[in-house]
Amino acid sequence: MTLHQIRIYHNTESRLTPYEDGHRLTATVSLGRDLPAGIVPEQIGEWAFHVFNVDLDQLERERLAPEWEISFLIGCVYRLLRLRSLSVGDVIELATDRESWWPACDPFRWRRITPPSNVHGQLLTAEKVDQHIAAQTSHR
């Protein structure tokens, strides 16, 4: 197993069309996962697309398999933060202690890109979660 850092970026300039160099990306969530050493970035992209798009009911059924429990919990956090679904044009950063990749979500596949230059926002932190909770509380 190899620890992978997975960071999700939403494309705020072009939703549902492929990422192009220079599009503005906004950080949303990040997480660490121990994954098999031979896994390829496209497989991680497919996992992320599934977790951040399917109904929680489906993720709940899948959690019966031990390796999917964390997927259910990650999907719950993503939805509690009211983040939109992962879409064509969005980008993932994947990193291990030895290398990193930037796959972009295209209509039918994940395409590796060079590290983008227009990345903004704050990945998931305790402060970001606290701000979200405070905002939800003030709307009551």
pLDDT tens per residue across span 20-45: 999 999 999 999 999 988 899 999 99
Q: What is the pLDDT of residues 70-90, one digit of tens each?
A: 999 999 999 998 899 999 999
* Residue 29: DSSP 8-state: E
| Beta pairing, strands 100-101 & 25-35 | unpaired
Q: Looking at 108-112, 116-120, 129-133, which range is the least confident one? A: 129-133
* Residue 100, pLDDT score: 94
CA 132 to chain centre: 18
Say what the pLDDT of residue 14 is. 84
**Structural domain of 94:** 2-138
Domains contained in the chain, number: 1
Task: Show the beta-strand stretches assigned E in the chain.
Answer: 2-11, 25-35, 91-95, 100-101, 103-105, 110-112, 119-120
CA dist 10 and 120 (Å) reads: 10
Pick from 109, 97, 89: which is nearest to 42 by CA?
Answer: 109
